Structure 1
Amino acid sequence: QWGIVEVENPDHCDFVKLRQMLISTHMQDLKEVTSDVHYENYRKQHITQQRDRSTKERMKLKRESAVNLGQLEDTDFLIAQKDAEIQRMQEMLAKMQAQLQTDPRAAVNGT
């Protein structure tokens, strides 16, 4: 004859007692596994993600600083060119002043 078996009913089955015994005896193991395995896996993954983000950030900063360095080199080059041009102009001005002092008529004649 067929009937109903209630797993949670202690009159029908020892499942409740078995479950209680297994949980109580293995709870510490479950806690340790959770801590040792699952938490450590989470921690490792989180640290790896942070390291990857910081590596990407450092690479970005390196690229930006390289661009800035290139801009600084360009700026330094332009400044050096302007300094050389100013030096040439000052030399030309000094020559003209020297010519004026030696031959004042050259200024009047335009030669």
Structure 2
Amino acid sequence: MSAESPIDPTVPPSGTGCVECDAAGGWWLHLRRCARCGHIGCCDDSPSKHATAHAKETGHPVIRSFEPGEVWFWNYDTSEFYESGPDLAAPDSHPLDQPVPGPAGRVPADWSQRIGG
């Protein structure tokens, strides 16, 4: 890992949904935000696991939930969970009217079977 801090509280999120899923027309279960660069990716319960892929590709180890009402952080390098941490640039979550799973119109009817639920 580089000497720079794994968290930059001044960087806003990259959007309202998973960057890669949006580009490919995919869907997600929950969203995660890179605490270093603001990249929004999908969680490990989502089909594509883009948040973890982003952390591996960039060396940015810390994510924060991008779900409404959730302020927890996770460090991939140390496998440590933090119930809270520093405030990050707004917004704190995807829009409240965005469904989970999401986004609206792209979630298959059998989504729960596709993720093992």
Tell me if both proteins adopt one fold, taking TM over 0.5 as the criterion: no
* TM-score, scaled relative to structure 1: 0.16
Larger Rg: 1
Determine which structure has the larger helix proportion and give its number: 1
Higher relative contact order (CA 8 A, sep 6+): 2
